Amino acid sequence: MNFIDFTIIAFYFAIILWIARWAASKKDNSEFSSVDYFLAGRNQGWLVIGASLFASNIGSEIILGVSGAGARADMPMANFEILASLVLILFGWVFVPFYLRSGIYTMPEFLEKRYSTACRNYLSVVSVLAYVITKISLIIFAGALVFEVLGIPFWTGAIITVVVTGLYTVLGGLKAVIYTDMVQAFILILGTVIVTIFGLYHLGGWDGLIETISVASLEEGKPSVDSFFNLWRPMDDTDYPWTGMLFGAPILGVWYWCTDQYIVQRALSAKDVSSARKGALFAGYLKLLPVFIFFIPGVIAYALLQKGIIDFSLDNADQALPALITQLLPSGLKGLAIAGLLAALMSSLSSAFNSSSTLLTIDFYQKFRPNASEKSLVRFGRLATVILVILSLGWIPFMDALMDGGIFKYLQSIQAYISPPIAAVFLLGLFFKWINAKGAIVTLWLGFIIGIFRLVMEFMRNNGSIVVDPNGALAYFLGINFLHFALFLFLFCSAILMLISKMTEAQSEESLVLVTFQKKTGTAAFRWSADITLSLVLVTLVLLLWLIFSPFGIG
């Protein structure tokens, strides 16, 4: 890093802060209302929403994790990114209309409209807990790793990450977040594309990449070309079996992309259903990019390591992309690529800050103070952000015991333990009016207990707090692949939800009009639309990627 690189990074910060200031300003100099602060005035278009969905999701932890998977020859991990495109189609067509027409601010608020206050309280608490252990702390952790690349100590980097990002989030609310997200998304894509091009150039192109991996694979213990470019593994694979990927991973996706405040809040800011749906589809197209701009650079880093052009440890493969940037790129481009990593970091962290403060403000503070003024709601939302930052910093030291296998696997495995009951209650609740509040609350708590038990036992086993009998029931329970576990827990929760709902009294038809599918009285004529075309093309591209990166394609 030299003066040119730091100048480019400083220019990036200046642009982001200027955009945040512009977004946070109001022409009439009036105070922010809660709609302005938490939902950006509910008047956003599809481009802003789609870019914000993508940028909010693609944090430093995703970039470092997916590129680290590339360096480790863990391509099945990239399936999480590809599957997200399909889930976003589901989000745009199935979930978005219910969310917008019910006029909600938060996902727990929707559960209250569909089921009961108890369900709302459950999701509020679990969501905030999930933000601390799977979002905010992990984003700060990954961001601090990025700062280490710049020679800044880990905890110093963590604090800088929090202060700089929190500044514009606290002041400008969701509008500042989504407009800076839009710019950061394109800076991120540009930076990672440059890294990919330069890496391939130093290897002599794609053929040089394949040749380097092939030569290295002749050495004992080195992975083959097939293992780098194959999305699918056998059903008995301990990490990413194809059955888990195809049937378990979508459950995590439904929870994350369709029911999580962190993501859905962007769609809630749309001016209408069409804008929200198009934004979701646009994000779906963008989610196809990580295979090429995150995973492939990880593979390139591995190949360059074999040729001695760059140096990093495969034991800490999450450092593959930072090593590629700092050791390969020339001055100027290095600063631009680092700005891309910082863009990913700041966009996802600011989104987490804003979403968590929305939950604490609307689902807790406003419930206890229903007559609170707009000004006090905004003020409490800003205070809530500060509190969550402190909690997240406190969780970071505990993450090491759970991060066996890299950042991205940690993130997905935690989500596998908490998402199935929530996904079941949301998804089935839309389609079946006879599913009721009693079934929902029992399902949510029972699924939570089972998931948290798995998480705690895994944590205690990994840090040596308990010794597990390899032939015992606990060893078998902990040995279930996390994606299979998500599938089994989802099926179990769905069965409990339906069983208890059938055994208890149904809710009134009037209370379900806005939150469930209703039978149409007439036969409406089918109309082809641009949204249908975009959805079908997106499905086709996903299927094409699955074919290319399979035993029948490159692998």
CA distance 205 to 305: 16
Is the model's pLDDT at 274 over the cut of 60? yes
3-state helix, strand, coil in the chain (%, to 5): 75, 0, 20
CA distance 313 to 307: 14
Q: Closest by alpha carbon to 150, among 390, 275, 322, 306?
A: 322
Is the model's pLDDT at 467 over the cut of 90? no
**Residue that has been written with the tokens 């991060």 in this structure:** 403
Q: Closest by alpha carbon to 351, among 318, 388, 394?
A: 388
CA distance 427 to 252: 12
pLDDT, position 162: 73
Q: How confident is the model over 189-244, as pLDDT tens digits?
A: 888 899 999 999 999 999 999 999 999 998 888 888 888 999 998 888 888 899 99
Q: How confident is the model over 433-464, as pLDDT tens digits?
A: 999 999 999 999 999 999 989 988 887 887 77
pLDDT, position 433: 92
44 SS3 class = strand
Query: Per-residue b/e over 147-156, b at no fewer than 16 CB within 10 Å?
Result: bebbeeeeee
SS3 string of 273-293? Answer: HHHHHHHHHHHHHHCCCHHHH
399 SS3 class = helix
Global pTM value: 0.87
First vs last Cα of the chain: how many Å apart? 37
Identity of the amino acid at 256: Y
- 35-49, 79-93, 282-296 — which is least confidently predicted? 35-49
**Residue that has been written with the tokens 């500060």 in this structure:** 386
> Residues 178, 269: contact at Cβ < 8 Å?
yes
Structure tokens at 411: 């993130």
Is the model's pLDDT at 413 over the cut of 80? no
Return phi, psi of residue 45, to 5°.
-90, 175
- 248-257, 286-295, 378-387 — which is least confidently predicted? 378-387
270 SS3 class = strand
CA distance 488 to 112: 26
CA distance 109 to 38: 14
Structure tokens at 470: 């390899």
Q: Closest by alpha carbon to 265, among 487, 494, 108?
A: 108
Is the model's pLDDT at 555 over the cut of 50? no
Is the model's pLDDT at 28 over the cut of 60? no
SS3 string of 481-546? Answer: CHHHHHHHHHHHHHHHHHHHHHHCCCCCCHHHCCCCCCCCCCCCCCCCCHHHHHHHHHHHHHHHHH
pLDDT, position 468: 84
Superfamily name with CATH number, domain 3-24+40-515+528-548: Sodium/glucose cotransporter (1.20.1730.10)
CA distance 140 to 392: 8
Mean of the per-residue pLDDT values of the chain: 85
HSE-up (13 A, CA, CB side) for residue 319? 17
Q: What is the chain's Cα-based Rg?
A: 23
Structure tokens at 549: 């990166």
CA distance 107 to 418: 15
CA distance 88 to 541: 14
Q: How confident is the model over 379-396, as pLDDT tens digits?
A: 888 788 777 777 766 766
Return phi, psi of residue 185, to 5°.
-60, -45
Mention every residue, 6+ apart, whose C-beta is less than 8 A from residue 426: 95, 111, 254, 255, 258, 259
Angle (nearest 5°) at CA 303 between 301 and 306? 110
Structure tokens at 491: 């099926």
Mention every residue, 6+ apart, whose C-beta is less than 8 A from residue 372: 365, 366, 380
366 SS3 class = helix
- The secondary structure of 435-458 as a DSSP string is --HHHHHHHHHHHHHHHHHHHHHH
